[in-house]
Amino acid sequence: MTRILFGLGNPGRRYAKTRHNAGWQVLDQLAERYGEGFRRTKLVHGEIADIQVGEHRIRMVKPASFMNLVGPVYRRAMDVFEVPVDGALVLVDDFSLPMGRLRFRAEGSAGGHNGLKSIQGSLGGSKTYPRLKLGIGPAPEGARWADFVLKRYDAAQRRELPEMLEVAADACERWIREGLIEAANRHNAG
């Protein structure tokens, strides 16, 4: 069975190591774990890497569009790879969660996140699709969210980042093998 891991991020070197690219960073961790690399593709507007987790073929997708335009790429990936909505996990940064905290959700609002708004738009407004929120916070009080998420991790967060990426990669594998409920039971904290 094919599944999709759809990482949210912004293209370009300027954004590569920013908090807003946490979804891509988890996909990079998985690609490294499985000895795979990303390649550009005409099938979807972005890059893909394929891994095998148990009996599941996994298509990891990094859209080449900016965050607020990822919805059409997400929809196209599901159509091209013939994967239903519940078989495509969105990996998304969340500045309201402390650094390293993970939270699986089967549905919910976009919470002001432009990438999630775009995905929900591509689903006709539906808020029901699996996602893994990756804690990159907390944002300093009074900080504008855009200023916070589009900057690189601070020194303390850089020390925590390798463990977060490793645990998030494990969480993705658990979702693939055991489903959303089991993954949430194991990885959702607080």
Domains and CATH numbers, the chain: 2-187 (3.40.50.1470)
Provide the pLDDT confidence category of residue 160 given band limits of 50, 70 and 90. Answer: very high
Catalytic residue among 20, 45, 113, 187: 20
Return the closest-CA partner of residue 53 out of 179, 181, 162, 174: 174
Q: State the pairing for strand pair 102-107/128-137.
A: antiparallel
Output the six-digit token pair for 44: 């979807």
Is residue 113 annotated as part of the catalytic site, yes or no?
A: no
pTM metric for this prediction: 0.97
Return the closest-CA partner of residue 161 out of 169, 46, 142: 169
- Average pLDDT, integer, range 54-80: 97
Residue 190: pLDDT over 60: no
Output the six-digit token pair for 93: 């940064």
The pLDDT of residue 141 is 85
> Is 9 exposed, middle or buried, given 0-12, 13-18 or 19+ CB atoms closer than 10 A?
buried
Provide the pLDDT confidence category of residue 1 given band limits of 50, 70 and 90. Answer: confident
